[in-house]
Structure 1
Amino acid sequence: MTTAIETVREIALKQPTSIRVFEKFGIDYCCGGRKPLADACTTQNLPINSVLAALEAAAADSAPSSEDWSKASLASLSEHIVSVHHAYVRKELLRLALLAQKVVVRHGDTRAELPEIQRTMGQLDEELIAHLAKEEAVLFPYIVRLERAIMDKAVRPKSCFGTVANPIAMMTQEHDAAGVLMATIRSLSHDFVAPEGACPTYHAFYDGLKEFEQDLHQHIHLENNILFPRAIDMEAVAS
């Protein structure tokens, strides 16, 4: 039974079906998931009873749920994040940049928010691409080696960063920064709702931004709430 005093993160972890409910209501369950559900609803002027009812209905849904990554190996989870979410970020940022350029050229003179969205997207692109590279080159390989060492009862692998909590703290801060930029884009775009009479490209741009935010939430949830805590716990065991 879900309660209003549980944090959004706790609910997302124990009830995977809650994620689609949070997406529906625009509740951040990754970077902003540390808030109690009641506080998250108050901040966004959402009726708590409606959200709780939707969570209960989702829990009762007999449809098969997505894979429970909390029980997967960290190697397979890391590979999934890279092949699915990192690949999506790289591909989609390029596509969204092209759409942004088109709508700014056509509508930027009359819609002041569009150049702002484009600039914010550029900053998000720069920061995320560098972030993904650090995870793929340093953090994720270490986590995989750490897991393998424990399975083989071998010596804990050496690293250039001391404890794994150090790069994880940096990655988490960068996730928070990406979340702030994405929230800015959501606000500037009026929750990704194109103005009346907008052209198909305008709609495609806003629809793409909305989908990008949803994927980013899922992506950060897997790292902040599952991969990173498990890696820290695993290193403690290895020590």
Structure 2
Amino acid sequence: MESIQSIDARKIAPLEKHPTIFQLYDDLPPGEHFILVNDHEPRPLHHQFQNERPGQFTWEYLEQGPEIWRVAIGKQVSVAEPTIGEIIAQDFRKAEVFKRHGIDFCCGGKKSLSQASSEVGIDPQVLRAELNSATREPGGGTLDRFQTWSIPLLIHYILENHHNWLKTKLPEMMPLVQKVSQVHGANHPETVEIASVFQAIVDDLVPHLQKEEIMLFPYINKMIAAERAGEEPPRPVFGSVEHPLRGMEADHEVVGQLMDSIRELSGNYTVPEDACASFRLVYGFLNELEDDLHQHIHLENNILHPKVRDLAQKLGV
């Protein structure tokens, strides 16, 4: 019979405690557990497990002070695999891992980790190890807190930080994208295609933003007001709030595919040696646009929309 592993947190340097404990947990076979020994209540560790391994662990107190705390921490035998969107919603630092492997975490957020791994030809275990490593790095910032934000605060943030940026940058950069295609198109025909795809992105995004600002977001705010007042919300002219949500997500899918085309055409935004300042500026902007859209679409598809769907179900709209 194998002995149960035990780890004494009192003997580990403060900055190494949680990473060491998580590494031990990650190495556990499903159904096994280890004993954590500590000299104080390990509540912060429990909160971190809830955030980073939701639904995947067991936590049983064996001894609760006053001098010694002993906790049995186990790995669930069968865990419902989280989606890419759920993983990113818990910790946006993991987005860099998905981006590095070409995994779409915004429009493709409903795929499971195994499915996404298979599509790009990477071992799921390797991907999980990289994701776990990403959470041990400092940082994360505001993006990690979005999951806890209210619907009105999320909408305000999206409007102020993403809609306003797009409405400023798209018309500002359109002439420059066209200029680069005209000047460099003979030697770099990909710039002509990029200009065409960028025009398609603008043509899709402008009415998309308008639909959110004029129709969807105002109705969501009416839902919030009705819930707070304990009243029934007005019936939407579009029948059900699910209809515009699906429409927005379909738009996101199209724009995501168009940005993928630009990334491919530009060779991952690789600037050629003979590029002028305008050429470099355009490629830098397109890379920035892709990053902004990834965050923007992630916030809506994986955080805002699920919250709105839960509220709509509660209110019957």
What amino acid is aligned across from residue 84 of structure 1 in structure 2?
Answer: N
Q: Is the contact made by 2:85 and 2:110 (CA closer than 8 Å) also made in structure 1?
A: yes
Return the structure number with greater strand share. Answer: 2
Picking from 28, 31, 36, the partner of 2:107 is 31
What whole-Å deviation, never above 9, does each CA across 1:113-144 have from its counterpart, x for those lacking one? Answer: 11111011111101100000000001001111
Alignment gaps of 5+ in structure 2 = 1-25, 27-52, 54-78
Residue of structure 2 in register with 1:16 after alignment: 92
Residue of structure 2 in register with 1:129 after alignment: 206
Q: Is 1:222 aligned to 2:304, yes or no?
A: no
Q: Report the 3-state secondary structure (helix = DSSP H, G, I; strand = E; otherwise coil) of the residue aligned with 1:156.
A: coil
What amino acid is aligned across from residue 137 of structure 1 in structure 2?
Answer: I
Residue of structure 1 in register with 2:310 after alignment: 233
Q: Is 1:206 aligned to 2:296, yes or no?
A: no
Mapped partners of 1:228, 1:173: distance in 2: 13
Picking from 66, 72, 75, the partner of 2:142 is 66
Deviation at 1:24, TM superposition (A): 4.2
What whole-Å deviation, never above 9, does each CA across 1:175-201 have from its counterpart, x for those lacking one? Answer: 111111111111111111122332232
Deviation at 1:49, TM superposition (A): 5.7
Mapped partners of 1:34, 1:115: distance in 2: 33
Q: Report the 3-state secondary structure (helix = DSSP H, G, I; strand = E; otherwise coil) of the residue aligned with 2:135.
A: helix
Q: Is 1:40 aligned to 2:116, yes or no?
A: yes
Which stretch shows the higher mean deviation, 156-165 or 127-136?
A: 156-165
Residue of structure 2 in register with 1:189 after alignment: 266
Q: Is the contact made by 1:85 and 1:215 (CA closer than 8 Å) also made in structure 2?
A: yes
Residue of structure 2 in register with 1:172 after alignment: 249
Higher relative contact order (CA 8 A, sep 6+): 1
- Superposed CA RMSD in Å reads 2.1
> May I ask how many residue pairs the two structures share in their alignment?
238
Mapped partners of 2:222, 2:97: distance in 1: 36
Residue of structure 1 in register with 2:157 after alignment: 80
Deviation at 1:234, TM superposition (A): 0.3
Which stretch shows the higher mean deviation, 108-117 or 63-72?
A: 63-72
Q: Is 1:116 aligned to 2:193, yes or no?
A: yes
What TM-score do you get using the length of structure 1 for normalisation?
A: 0.90
Deviation at 1:99, TM superposition (A): 2.3
Distance 1:191 1:47, change over 3 A: farther
Deviation at 1:93, TM superposition (A): 1.3
Mapped partners of 1:23, 1:92: distance in 2: 23
What amino acid is aligned across from residue 21 of structure 1 in structure 2?
Answer: V
Mapped partners of 1:52, 1:196: distance in 2: 38
Mapped partners of 1:183, 1:97: distance in 2: 18
4+ residue runs over 6 A deviation = none
What amino acid is aligned across from residue 56 of structure 1 in structure 2?
Answer: N
What amino acid is aligned across from residue 190 of structure 1 in structure 2?
Answer: G
* Identity over aligned pairs, percent: 34
Larger Rg: 2
Alignment gaps of 5+ in structure 1 = none
What amino acid is aligned across from residue 133 of structure 2 in structure 1?
Answer: A
